[in-house]
Structure 1
Amino acid sequence: MSTDWEVYAIKYADRDARTRADSFIFDDNHEAPHAMDYYMWLIRGAGRVILVDTGYDVDEGVMRGRPIRLNPVEALKPFDLTPEDVTEIIVTHLHYDHAGGLHLFPNAQIHLQAAEMAYATGPCMCHDTLRMPFTAAHVCEAVTRLYAGKLTFHDGEGAIADGISVHCIGGHSRGLQAVRVRTRTGWMVLASDAAHYYENFMARKPFPIVVDLQDMLDGFNTLRRLASKPELIVPGHDPLVRQYFDSALADHIIRLDVGPNGTMVL
């Protein structure tokens, strides 16, 4: 029998001192405020719990001047999960805000695109602009997991479980992957940073941190192809997610698989 998975968005931080220039390359109102939420995601069903990304910890927040509201471990407490209970993590990419908590979950097998490891450890990191979203310790943690036999590489599309797959999109980071999940409301896509905001893919406005603009633009089409309907594409950083999906497990946790509340305008 096929599994319809439960999917949750877990907000652990936010950053309000931003403008639309920080979110869109092409926009007529670059100076307007534009807030950003930071999420991890949790998928569970069939006796399995899979964490998608890990957020980052207090020390990373201090170093970057971007404090967090909840340590990733604390953020998972409503699920009655300890760090040791987390045995599977899909890392969408190795930027600090998605892989900065890997060290907090020592038992986890990591799923990562081979292209992402090559990018984060290759010649592109000689450029300050491309290196900026990475932190060396997080990349080294991924390498340590590799040498411990706790890293599974994927090359393009890969199956994680019945009804869960990863899909390399690139654009924002060379090996960025989105996660496709079968739910009661249809195929949902956790876009991560393939679309930071709804407006990125809806209005085809690229995000400014980009290594390959064509891959990013082509990725907007891929997200639509993978999802049963556009309403089931979940952006990586949009505060609107908490309005469109309003079934809450806790103040910082929104359940996604039950579907949006019908107020979305696409």
Structure 2
Amino acid sequence: MSEWEVFSIKYADRSARTRADSFIFDDNHDAPHEMDYFMWLLRSGDEFILVDCGYDDAEAKARDRPIRRDPGAALAPFGLKPEDITQMIVTHLHYDHAGGLHLFPNARLHMQAAEMAYATGPCMCHGTLKMPFTAGHICEAITRLYSGKVTFHDGDGQIADGVTVHKIGGHSRGLQCVRVKTRAGWLVLASDASHFYENLWAAKPFPIVVDLEDMLNGFTTLQTLASSPNLIIPGHDPLVRNYFPSELDDFIHRLDAGPSKDVAR
């Protein structure tokens, strides 16, 4: 079975947040709680798979959430241009994970059928559920579908030898995590199935949720899929940059060899 190198790529961050923005039922809800924004790159020889694609300057201005680097330009340290990406796993269609779809015009998108149905269905009549989506991003996904460049998965699916996706739900109806075979074992990119290590290890749900039971059950699924607790990578936790070494640039961190120390639980 192929083994993959896995890199986190930080493209944005937010410091004006509190723990109430990250955890339901948290006693220390007024304390500051920062968030990082990542996309991820998988590499095996000459083969690359991008996991999520961030959002662009236009979305940053619209939401007043600045980005530090353009997601397409962030691939330059790997010698890649956005046009070089031909396979992309979209964990879900929220703006910060699918807002840069148009930047990668040659990418075939892999997503859960449930996510497209959710983002284009009656749930979007509710402002609270619609808030993390942007209509233009969904239209781009639909355009890609009509161009024959979307592969839908229903539950578990294989993207390549050593790369699989698994439907979690909870945070969004069709949220999926990504399981990757690495030299350290099976690594799981949780994406927003666990925004922070604390969501997972303290079983504290994130406040943006469509199905709380699915979110809580997803914490168990992540642990089942990974070879080690150290190999579960949360979607937005700045601590990832403390546990894993930087490589190529200070915003890129190498994940596939495992953390430099055990992850605190």
Given residue 12 of structure 2, which amino acid in structure 1 is its aligned partner?
Answer: A
Deviations, residues 97-151 of structure 1 (Å, cap 9, x unaligned)? 0000000010010001000000000000000000000000000000001000000
Q: Deviation of residue 210 (structure 1)?
A: 0.1
Rounded to whole Å, the distance in 2 between the matches of 1:48 and 1:248 is 19
1:173-184 equivalence runs, <5 A: 173-184=172-183
Q: Runs in 1 of length 4+ with deviation above 3 angstroms?
A: none
2:199 is paired with a residue of what secondary structure? helix
Aligned to 2:133: 134
Aligned to 1:159: 158
Rounded to whole Å, the distance in 1 between the matches of 2:99 and 2:34 is 21
1:219-258 equivalence runs, <5 A: 219-258=218-257
Deviations, residues 167-220 of structure 1 (Å, cap 9, x unaligned)? 000000000000000000010000000000000010000000000000000000
2:207 is paired with a residue of what secondary structure? coil
Aligned to 2:17: 18
1:73-222 equivalence runs, <5 A: 73-222=72-221
Correspondence 1:56 to 2:55: yes
Aligned to 1:41: 40
Rounded to whole Å, the distance in 2 between the matches of 1:47 and 1:208 is 39
1:68 is paired with a residue of what secondary structure? coil
Let me know the Cα RMSD of the aligned residues: 0.7
Rounded to whole Å, the distance in 2 between the matches of 1:56 and 1:246 is 25
2:248 is paired with a residue of what secondary structure? strand
TM-score with structure 2 length normalisation? 0.99
Q: Deviation of residue 248 (structure 1)?
A: 2.4
TM-score with structure 1 length normalisation? 0.99
Q: Deviation of residue 28 (structure 1)?
A: 1.1
Rounded to whole Å, the distance in 2 between the matches of 1:247 and 1:139 is 33
Rounded to whole Å, the distance in 1 between the matches of 2:264 and 2:33 is 19
Q: Deviation of residue 42 (structure 1)?
A: 0.2
Rounded to whole Å, the distance in 2 between the matches of 1:221 and 1:258 is 23
Rounded to whole Å, the distance in 2 between the matches of 1:200 and 1:106 is 34
Rounded to whole Å, the distance in 1 between the matches of 2:246 and 2:143 is 38
Q: Deviation of residue 263 (structure 1)?
A: 4.6
Given residue 248 of structure 1, which amino acid in structure 2 is its aligned partner?
Answer: E
Rounded to whole Å, the distance in 2 between the matches of 1:5 and 1:195 is 22
Rounded to whole Å, the distance in 2 between the matches of 1:55 and 1:73 is 9
Rounded to whole Å, the distance in 2 between the matches of 1:46 and 1:157 is 25
Rounded to whole Å, the distance in 2 between the matches of 1:163 and 1:107 is 22
Does the CA-based 8 Å contact 1:3-1:182 persist in structure 2? yes
Structure 2: any 5+ residue segments left out of the alignment? none
Does the CA-based 8 Å contact 1:3-1:46 persist in structure 2? no
Aligned to 1:66: 65
1:89 is paired with a residue of what secondary structure? strand
Rounded to whole Å, the distance in 2 between the matches of 1:260 and 1:163 is 20
Q: Deviation of residue 26 (structure 1)?
A: 1.6
Task: Report sequence identity in percent.
Answer: 71
Q: Deviation of residue 46 (structure 1)?
A: 3.9
1:72 is paired with a residue of what secondary structure? coil
